[in-house]
Amino acid sequence: MTYGKKPDRVFDGNGTLHEGWLVMVQGEKIAFAGPAADCKQPPNAKVIDLKGCTLTPGLIDAHSHLLLHPYDEAKWEDQVSKEPLAERISRATVHARANLLSGFTTMRDLGTEGAQLADVGINPHAVTLNDYAGRPHYLVDDWKAMPELV
């Protein structure tokens, strides 16, 4: 699948905002990012108009705790000892989706705080927005629990 995103501005990650740019994606990779006039887009490519928006590279949160919620809602001790594991995993999925909606496409969870390997089980497909948003990436605390990564 090839598609384009045409926002008002593209932030290049190096401190520059570019107006009039088009970003073309082929499969899961960026095939083109530059002035729209310079793009030789395929005739069947869908272009998504993002008028009023600024497109940025995916952000990285290198210190997150998806399985916790703010301590002003519940004490840490209560979260890790009294809340059911299923509730904490559901909350983590909601937190992961909120982060994706905020532009964070890569996150590192620094520990499950007593939920064993629950962070390994957070399924990126459960929080993916749609075919055009891409798939988020999660780096979990206990990476040895995922044999395909060792």
pLDDT at 150 over 70: no
How close are the terminal C-alpha atoms of the chain, in Å? 31
The predicted model scores a pTM of 0.64
Together in a domain, 40 and 89 = no
Question: How many structural domains comprise the chain?
Answer: 2
- Confidence label for 125 from pLDDT (cuts 50, 70 and 90): low
Percent of the chain with pLDDT over 70: 74
80 is in which domain, residue-wise?
A: 59-149
Are 134 and 67 within one domain? yes
Return the CATH number at 41. Answer: 2.30.40.10
What local confidence, expressed as pLDDT, does residue 149 receive? Answer: 40
Residue 139 has pLDDT above 80, yes or no: no
Q: Are residues 86 and 41 in the same domain?
A: no
Q: Which two tokens stand for residue 97?
A: 């989706």
**Measuring CA to CA, how many Å separate 106 from each of 40, 99, 131, 135?**
30, 9, 17, 9
Same domain as 90, residue 50: no
- Strand 104-109 and strand 137-139: the pairing is parallel
Yes or no: say if 122 and 97 are a contact pair by the CB < 8 Å rule.
no
- pLDDT band, very low/low/confident/very high, at 148 (cuts 50, 70, 90): very low
* pLDDT of res. 100: 82
Same domain for 97 and 118?
A: yes
Residues 64 and 109 in one domain: yes
Q: Which residue has the higher pLDDT, 136 or 61?
A: 61
pLDDT digits (tens, 9 = 90+) for 29-88: 889 999 999 998 888 889 999 999 999 888 888 888 888 888 888 888 888 888 888 888
Phi, psi of 28 (to 5 degrees): -110, 15
